Chain A
Amino acid sequence: MTELTELGVAAIRDGVAKGDFTAAEVAEAFNANVAAAQDALNAFIVATPDKAIAAAKATDAKRAAGEALGKMGGVPIGMKDLFATVGVQTTAASHILEGFVPQYESTVSQKLWDAGAGMLGKLNLDQFAMGSSNETSYFGNVISPWRRNDGGNAPLAPGGSSGGSSAAVSARLCPAATGTDTGGSIRQPAAFTGITGIKPTYGRCSRWGIVAFASSLDQAGPMARDTRDCAIMLEAMAGFDPKDATSLDMPVPAWEAGLSADLAGKTVGIPREYRMDGMDADVAKSWDDGIAWLKDAGARVIDIALPHTRYALPAYYIIAPAEASSNLARYDGVRYGLRDLPDGAGLQDMYAATRAAGFGAEVKRRILIGTYVLSAGFYDAYYTQAQKVRTLISRDFTAAFEQCDVILAPTAPSAAFALGDNIDDPLSMYLNDVFAVPASLAGLPAMSVPAGLNREGLPLGLQIIGRPFDEQGVLNAGLAIEQRAGFAAKPEKWW
């Protein structure tokens, strides 16, 4: 029998249902991997082995009683520490929320537990999901399980902000994990670690109970080893929630049952603006490979134009900080979280001291930018202009989707970089999301699938962007690439 921790979501679900192994055996195997890797990878902020075992035993009891096990029955998962979990510390990787123990469960995590999943622990991330390398966490860097093939063993970034999720899935600490994506935070870490992740259409997954960063962009999604596993988990996570004002009131399609790698009759658009000067040669080659694979799957491939692409990133870095400055105003040292009350301080001094002590440097930087662009006299020049540009970016996609069904592009401009490479230069860090941000601004479903390894032996991802609500089209193109890329590489165990 294969080692249980080598199995993905579908294999565990089916194996438990058939009785090949018990859910408790699976949970124990993953609990052991989580514990063994913690010192080296730092992927989890809190491990919850008892929760994983309890959920597994409930699944085993249901099976013994002949009851239905659910879409995720017996599958233990990692939960990004941005989702509120009853009775389990939820920090957004910040000091200001250290020790915060939610009294309620986020809608998405509750749906996963209802579907039979169990929780292995809360995964590390960039603080308040702000970052592309998982270097802004108050609880320390996550180390990618991947290493370059040069023997240098430089610690590499797992991507961000869902860096704990990507490291844990690729290191076989969990078969799947939740992520959230505001401007690439599912797709870029998935690409960096050779796994698969999908951000659904804005509104598919409820935001209720997810620590807010930029509410018009934030979307939850699954990160797993392959397309089928993502389809299964997304079905369990998605669905209308009256507690989220922007939740889509639409039925959840049967994405797993609808999977098909036959792309006959489909048209794939290749956005010429994404082919930038000085593009990494390996990234360019993987993109060409992707085009060939989709043609082989029966698709027609055409060039398309997304003329406002180059303005997406600057627009994002006005809109996201503006929303963050407003959302993060709630951390005031009064109702929950950290309080710093200097001797003799009044209320205003307490706010300022609490927020100074509780937020990290990148979070402060974004709050200040957001406060500035929303301030009187500058609002129209920055924020309104950015929202107009956002409309133009969205229109670019609408026009492109009159000619094609999905869009193929690289996920990130490079493979994983070494920790410390970009941390002192915010702008170079922001450029990591240059290919991911446009789809976020337009609220479109987008996924990253592994395409191959670069010259350094590190994974590269390909991104598929779809029409609103067409997660199926995105997943199917992802499956077609997955079947042809034959990506089987995994990090060699050193931890």
Chain B
Amino acid sequence: MSVDTATVARIAALARIKLGEGELEAMVPELNGILAWVEQLGEVDVAGVEPMTAVIENHLRLRDDVIDADPLTGGGIRDKVLANAPAAEHGFFGVPKVIE
């Protein structure tokens, strides 16, 4: 499989990365080079093989059902959450208008 300019434009739109026309053109052969190289995985016989889900066997834990049991990951830290926001306003994240 290989990609053309229209496909790369679609992927870039999905990934929310604006690419200029020159960048788009340059990306097509680069991505095709990588995709052609990974294509060799298709020759591996994977009949009956489950895809890897965890490299080291582990079980998913549930945390105790306690509010703010860990203050680092609990709530009540609005100002810290907003501290690095490019446009914090009135205790919220500011964004451009989303409704016309």
Q: Which residues of B20-73 are within 8 A (CB) of A?
A: 27, 30-31, 33-35, 37-38, 40-42, 44, 46, 49-56, 58, 60-61, 63, 70, 72-73
Contact partners of B50 in chain A: CB under 8 A = 388, 391
The residues of A that contact B84 with a CB separation of less than 8 Å are 100-101, 103, 335-337
**Chain A residue total in the interface (Cβ 8 A):** 70
A108 to B81, CA, bound (A): 21
The verdict on B19 contacting chain A, using a C-beta distance below 8 Å, is yes
| A311 in contact with B17 (CB, 8 Å) | no
A384 to B51, CA, bound (A): 6
Given known contacts A334-B85, A347-B95, A368 and B27 CB-to-CB distance under 8 angstroms:
yes
Q: A201-B56, A365-B27, A386-B41 given as contacts; is B18 within 8 A of A356 (CB)?
A: yes
Which A residues are CB-close (under 8 A) to B72?
Answer: 104, 243
Q: Is there contact, CB below 8 Å, between B87 and A352?
A: no
Q: Does A462 contact B (CB under 8 A)?
A: no
A441: nearest chain-B partner, CB-CB: B55
**Main SS class of interface, A:** helix
B15's nearest neighbour on chain A, judged by CB, is A371
| Cβ contacts under 8 Å, A364 to chain B | 17, 19, 27
Contacts of B12 in A (CB 8 A): 368
Majority DSSP secondary structure for residues of B touching A: loop
Instruction: Give the distance in Å from the alpha carbon of A353 to the alpha carbon of B20 in the complex.
Output: 11
Contact A317 B38 (CB under 8 A): yes
Name the residue among A103, A318, A329 with the largest chain B CB count within 10 angstroms.
A103
Contacts of A314 in B (CB 8 A): 37-38, 40-41
B38 → chain A, closest Cβ, in Å? 4
Residue contacts A-B, CB under 8 angstroms, 21 given? A103-B84, A203-B56, A242-B61, A311-B41, A334-B93, A335-B85, A337-B84, A346-B97, A348-B16, A350-B95, A352-B18, A365-B27, A368-B12, A371-B11, A372-B3, A385-B46, A386-B41, A387-B52, A388-B50, A426-B30, A426-B33
B residues apposed to A, CB below 8 Å: 1, 3, 7-8, 11-19, 27, 30-31, 33-35, 37-38, 40-42, 44, 46, 49-56, 58, 60-61, 63, 70, 72-73, 77, 80-81, 83-87, 93, 95-98
What is A's interface to B at a CB cutoff of 8 Å?
A: 100-101, 103-104, 201-203, 216, 242-243, 245-246, 248-249, 308, 311, 314-315, 317-318, 325, 329, 332-339, 341, 345-353, 355-356, 359, 364-365, 367-369, 371-372, 375, 378, 381-382, 384-392, 394, 426-427, 441-443, 468
